[in-house]
Amino acid sequence: MARREKIHKDFLVDTAFILAKQEGFENVTARKLAAKAGCSTQPIFRLYENMDDLLAEVYERAVEFYDTFYEECPKMNPEPFVDLGLAYIKFADQEKYLFKLLFMGDKKSYAKSLYDILNGTKSYVSAEFTKAKKEGVSSAQDLFTKLWIFIHGIACMTVTGDYDLDQDQTLNLLREASRKLGTD
With respect to residue 114, please indicate whether it lies within any of the assigned structural domains.
yes
Given a contact cutoff of 8 angstroms between Cβ atoms, the answer to whether 114 and 54 are in contact is: no
The model's pLDDT over 22-53, given as tens digits with 9 standing for 90+, comes to 999 999 999 999 999 999 999 999 999 999 99
Q: DSSP 3-state helix, strand, coil percentages of the chain (rounded to 5)?
A: 70, 0, 30
Residue 67 is assigned to a structural domain of this protein = yes
Instruction: Note whether residue 146 is domain-resident.
Output: yes
CATH number at residue 54: 1.10.357.10
Q: Dihedrals φ, ψ of 33, to 5°?
A: -65, -45
Segment 90-105, tens digit of pLDDT: 999 999 999 999 999 8
Domain ranges, residue 133: 9-182
The total number of structural domains in the chain stands at 1
Q: What is the mean pLDDT of the chain?
A: 94
Tell me, yes or no, whether 4 lies in a domain. no
Q: Is 39 part of a structural domain of the chain? A: yes
pLDDT value at 123 more than 70: yes
Q: Work out the number of other CB atoms within 10 angstroms of the CB of residue 6.
A: 9
pTM above 0.85, yes or no: yes
CB 12 within 8 A of CB 44: yes
User: What are the pLDDT digits (tens) for 39-92?
Assistant: 999 999 999 999 999 999 999 999 999 999 999 999 999 999 999 999 999 999
Tell whether 3 is covered by a domain: no
